[in-house]
Structure 1
Amino acid sequence: MRQGRALCGVAFAAGTVAALGRTSEATLTLPVGRLLLVVAVAALAGLVAGLLPARRAARLDVLAAIATS
């Protein structure tokens, strides 16, 4: 579902850039290397943010956790 939204956003941006390119002298350059680096760092941060709590939860005794809540 999120990939569809991302693709829709990219398509909208590409269409906007194409439309503006016909009417303007400005040019757009995408630093592909930097863009890939940002995506990789964001993915790594998401994995760490999800895995650390999951590891801690996996170590809990289920019955003890239920009894204290």
Structure 2
Amino acid sequence: LTLAIHERTRELGLLRAVGQTRSQLRAMVRWESVLVAAFGTVGGLALGAFLGWVLVKASDGASDSAFAFAIPPLQLAVVALVGLAAGALAGLRPARRAARLDVLRAIATE
């Protein structure tokens, strides 16, 4: 996210120049971070569940013990919340940095 902020310095400066406040800019970057984390968490959980199911199906008959595919909802919820919290925490520093940008320098950045 820090790289995204660096690449969008000019855009963020223009937003500030047309009236966006520092707190609005911080909130925008934080929400972007949470959305990226949410999509990553959902994608990771879906891919993990699919690969777990594939491994269980592939192991049928491979051993004497039977494997069953199960998704524990409590653990799923905990992992989802941890993913969202990590995204929110990861967005704090870039949001603060974006809000502190000097408007004129940001606009002059290529």
What TM-score range do you get, normalising by the shorter chain? Answer: 0.5 to 0.7
User: Unpaired segments of 5 or more residues in structure 1?
Assistant: none
Name the SS of the counterpart of 1:45 in structure 2.
Answer: helix
Give the structure-2-normalised TM-score.
0.40
Are the structure 2 counterparts of residues 40 and 31 from structure 1 closer, same or farther at C-alpha, using a change threshold of 3 Å? same
Specify which structure has the bigger relative contact order, considering alpha-carbon pairs within 8 angstroms and separated by 6 or more residues: 2
Alignment pair present for 1:39 and 2:85? no
Are the structure 2 counterparts of residues 17 and 39 from structure 1 closer, same or farther at C-alpha, using a change threshold of 3 Å? same
Give aligned-pair identity as a percent.
44
- The aligned residue for residue 57 of structure 1 is 98
What are the equivalent positions in structure 2 for 1:1-69 lying under 5 Å apart?
3=43, 7-20=46-59, 22-23=60-61, 24=63, 25-28=65-68, 30-64=71-105
State the alpha-carbon separation in 2 of the partners of residues 51 and 41 from structure 1.
16
Give the CA deviation at 1:64. 4.6
State the alpha-carbon separation in 1 of the partners of residues 45 and 77 from structure 2.
15
Q: Alignment RMSD, CA only?
A: 3.2
Number of residue pairs matched?
A: 64
User: Unpaired segments of 5 or more residues in structure 2?
Assistant: 1-39
Give the structure-1-normalised TM-score.
0.55
